[in-house]
Amino acid sequence: METENGAHIVPISNQSRQVQQFASDEGEDLSAQPQKGLNLAPLLRTFQRKAIIIIGIVGLVGAAAVWQIKGGKRTYQGDFRMLVEPVTTEARIADPSALANREGGVPNREFFSLDYATQLEILQSPQMLSTIAKQVRKRYPEFTEELLKKGLVVLRLGNNMLDQTKILEVRFIGQDPQLVELVLQETKKKYLKYSLDERKTRIGEGVNFIEDQLPGLNKRVNSLKSELQVIQQQQKLTNPQEQGTQLIEQVQDIETSDLETQRILQEQKTLYANLQKQLDFTPEEAIAASALSEEPQYKELLAKVKEVEGQIAVERARFKSANPLVEALERKRSNLVALLDQQTQRILGQNLAGARANSKVQNFQNSIRIGLIKQLVDTANQIQVLEARSQAIIQTRNDLNRKAREFPAVARRYNELQQQLEIAARTRDQLLTQRETLRVQAAQSQVPWEIISEPTIPRDPKGNLIPVASKNKNKFVMAALGGLLLALGTAIILEKLRGIFYCADDLKDAVDAPLLGVIPLDKSAKKFSYASLASAYDAVEDKGGNNKNASQFIEAFDSLYTNIRFLSSNRPIVSIAVGSATLGEGKSMLALNLAHVAALAGQRVLLVDANLHDPNLHLMLDLPNFKGLSNLLDDRLDPSEIIQRSPLADNLFVLTSGVPLPGTARRLASAQMQYLMDELNALFDLVIYDTPPLAESKDANFLAARTNGILMVVAIRKTKQSAVKQVLGQLENFGIPCLGVVANHVGTSRVRKVAKPATTIVGDKGDKGEKNEYLNFSPTPPAMRKFAPKKE
């Protein structure tokens, strides 16, 4: 049953301060770890694991490429050549355009030069190809413009500027040689026709195109000019670079002025604080005290009051307090005090009524204090002036900073508009120049081109057509590379879909916490139903057993214990929470074996089964579980009555979970649990807590926050990476230190088999008479229940 006193939750923040202090003792350099660079090791491990899949995909793609290459058809290429410019002096002189334009002599070569790049584009334009394809379809209806575009090549002969010729070569590649010859013949006819009359039409269309583009360019140039003008008017921007420099100087000046004002203001505030400390007045009180001290009637009344008070003191020394003379003097003093209050009210007025709360205000102020009061008032006024100036400077600085923030965007926009305007204007000028050039060419270039090589397909000496050399080798290489990329991508996708840790290196690369140990699968476990050190030691002693595997298992836990022991150089680790992200990762086995190693090392160790949802340690050790941690939290029993000695080692003790009751798990966050943990830390050198899975239960967070840290157990080839990262992020958010992670090679299911039969007992606290099963209800021998000597 939970009690009100035991149910108080202890905030984790208090424990977080302790564990954070423990973590800070490890050295400040932990926060300055070097950043990790590009790590290709996970990808290499992925490719190694998926080698069969990668090889299979590459093999399939390569086989498909080979099949396609073998099933391909032969292709043939034909060509013809055209001379497009006059080459001899006689031809240049006889050219009609030369006769119409030259003033005598032989025209130079530049006079007849073509824009070959433009000419080649025109010859391969869609409209030109469409006309040729239309003629070919009269004999080959299935022929399309796409086939023509794919197979037709028009180029200028010559490899460089020195050996470039005035000859255009036209090539076509196809699988049908007759089709190739037909396409070349139709292309020759179309190009010759183009040289005679269609060239003028094309030039005219080019001129019309330029005419269509010019209005838009003119409009854009005018728009850019208008936008530049608007920016210049709004921002008063003429020279962005110069104005930007001026703006920076203004910001620097205002910053300097602000610093100077703040310095003077700080000096005045310091002076004001010293004056106020000396006078013990506020400015209002100082003004009131000064006014009262300089009023003659007030000083006269104050002197009379002091005189009467002196007489009263004298008379009281002579007579008793009930003497008529003393009473008369008391009445006189009361009247004078009333008059003094009236005078004070008249002098101070309603606005300074609050100053009368200070009794020192009504005291007489000498000339020195009057001077200090004046200096206090002047300093207060100066502070107000400086604060007002500071506010004005801050406002000015904010305005300048705003302008400074906005100015780069404005300047950048201004420069962009300038560049766009220059580009638009230059483009317009180029189009105008090109238009004039096209008009001249349309009027003068009328000489047809000359065919110097008829369309033909190469043949061997026997007259057989020669096919084009195959590029099958390149195709195969490209297919192999594509298959390799596909295989690698598939391997990565499959790895991501599973999202588990395949080896300890995967875990080490995926999390920031240090990898403290790698526990191999103990194949020699015989005596126990779980992978234990005891079974490993038995296997080592048994010469016929798997000694190597058992030795590796023992060395793994020795290494894990050593790494944990030397994590902190300043203080020993006295309590550890062993947890995992999900169920069945072997954390209970690891916690037990770690405790066993620590006990063998001479430490007095307590293993606590804090997994109140699904306890497991009592089954592993074959211990009774009638009373345990839940009873200590609910009934506040003496731990010595419940803690049992483990049969594995004399100084290894076990606190089982006990019979879990409804709500007991929430008690892990109670003050009673905090008190119990402190008591256990005082009794034992090392306390190890087996916690429930962190992804399924939040109770372990309260428990782990009160230890030196949590040890995360991750099952290799089973645990999802997302679950582990989520739990580690949760620990970081809660401020719970993670000592490190342990890669555990556990099986696919938890081992729950017990050697001895179970005894069934009806629990008196179960709901509706449910039965609770315990293993080995027989009492533990007295020798096992005794404690080892307490920790000194």
Between residues 594 and 478, which one has the greater pLDDT? Answer: 594
DSSP 195: I
Radius of gyration in angstroms for the set of CA atoms belonging to the chain, rounded to a whole number: 50
pLDDT over threshold 50, residue 777: no
Q: How far apart are CA 503 and CA 520, in angstroms?
A: 11
Per the DSSP assignment, residues forming a β-bridge with 689 are: 577, 608
Distance CA 780, CA 792 (A): 27
Task: Identify the bridge partners of residue 700 per DSSP, sorted by sequence position.
Answer: none
Strand (E) or helix (H) holding 193: helix 177-193
Task: Specify the pairing of strand 710-715 against strand 575-580.
Answer: parallel
Q: Give the closest residue to 31 by CA, choosing from 17, 20, 18, 16.
A: 20
pLDDT of residue 446: 54
Place of tokens 């179309």: 190
The neighbouring-strand residues paired with 605 are 652, 686
Q: CA separation (Å) from 110 to 87, 107, 113, 161?
A: 12, 8, 5, 14
Query: How many whole angstroms separate alpha carbon 502 and alpha carbon 636?
Result: 45
Please say whether the beta carbons of 373 and 286 come within 8 A.
yes
pLDDT at 311 over 80: no
Q: Given the DSSP bridges, would you call strands 450-456 and 76-83 parallel, antiparallel or unpaired? A: antiparallel
**Which of 180-189, 387-396, 697-706, 779-788 comes out lowest in average pLDDT?**
779-788
Residue type, 522: D
In the predicted model, what is the mean pLDDT of residues 710-723? Answer: 87
- Residue 14's pLDDT is 43
Buried b (16+ CB within 10 A) or exposed e, 715-741: bbebbebebbeebbeebeebbbbbbbb
CB neighbours (10 Å) of residue 516?
A: 19
Of 254, 509, 510, the closest CA to residue 402 belongs to 254
Q: What are phi and psi of 509, to 5 degrees?
A: -75, -25
pLDDT at 2: 39
- Residue 596's pLDDT band (boundaries 50, 70, 90)? very high
Residue 351 has pLDDT above 70, yes or no: no
Q: Find, among 653, 656, 646, 606, the residue nearest to 626 by Cα.
A: 656
DSSP one-letter string for 307-326: HHHHHHHHHHHHS-TT-HHH
* DSSP element (H, E) containing 479: helix 472-498
DSSP 530: S
Q: Are 557 and 533 in contact (CB under 8 A)?
A: yes
pLDDT tens for 270-288 read 888 888 787 777 776 776 7
**Six-digit token string for 108:** 């130079």
Q: What is the reported pLDDT for 605?
A: 94
Query: 775: part of which helix (H) or strand (E)?
Result: strand 771-775
Are 607 and 653 spatial neighbours (Cβ–Cβ below 8 Å)?
yes
Return d(Cα 706, Cα 702) in angstroms, integer: 7
CB 707 within 8 A of CB 668: no
- Predicted structure pTM score: 0.46
- Cα 481 from Cα 475, distance rounded (Å): 10
Interior/surface letters 2-29, b for 16+ CB within 10 angstroms, e for the rest = beeebeeebebeebbeebeebbeeeeee
Q: In angstroms, how far apart are the furthest CA atoms of the chain?
A: 163
Can you tell me the distance from the alpha carbon of 675 to that of 505, in angstroms, rounded to the nearest whole number? 40
pLDDT at 710: 92
| DSSP label at residue 466 | P
Q: Residue 113 has what pLDDT?
A: 64
Packed helices 324-348 and 283-293: angle between N→C axes, nearest 10 degrees: 120
Give the rounded distance of the alpha carbon of 49 from its chain centre: 29
Amino acid at 609: D
Q: What SS3 state is found at 62?
A: helix
The neighbouring-strand residues paired with 173 are 77
Look at residue 283 and give its three-state secondary structure. Answer: helix
609 closest CA partner among 579, 564, 573: 579
Task: Print burial letters for 34-43: b (CB count within 10 Å at least 16), e (below 16).
Answer: eeeeeeeebe
**What are the residues facing 741 on neighbouring strands?**
515, 712
pLDDT of residue 747: 46
The average confidence (pLDDT) of the chain is 75
Q: Measured between alpha carbons, how far is 758 from 776 in angstroms, rounded to an integer?
A: 6
Cα–Cα distance, 618 to 660 (Å, whole number): 13
Q: Is the pLDDT of residue 741 over 90?
A: yes
470 is written with which tokens?
């195959």
Which pLDDT tens digit goes with each residue over 625-671?
A: 888 888 888 777 788 888 999 888 889 999 998 887 776 667 777 88
pLDDT in tens, 91-105: 544 454 444 444 444
The Cα-based distances of 81 to 192, 197, 637 in angstroms read: 12, 20, 108
What pLDDT score does 37 carry? 58
Question: What pLDDT score was predicted for residue 524?
Answer: 56
Convert the pLDDT of each residue in 285-307 to its tens digit: 776 766 666 666 666 677 777 77
> If you count them, how many residues does the chain have?
792
- Specify whether the CB–CB gap between 683 and 631 falls below 8 A: no
pLDDT digits (tens, 9 = 90+) for 623-637: 998 888 888 887 777
Give the Cα separation of 467 and 460 in Å (integer).
Answer: 10
551, 554, 555, 556 alpha-carbon torsion, rounded to 10°: 120
| pLDDT at site 577 | 93
Residue with tokens 């998926």: 50
Residues in CB range of 644: below 8 A, 6 or more apart:
623, 624, 653, 654, 655, 656, 780, 784, 785
Secondary structure class of 691 (helix, strand, coil): coil
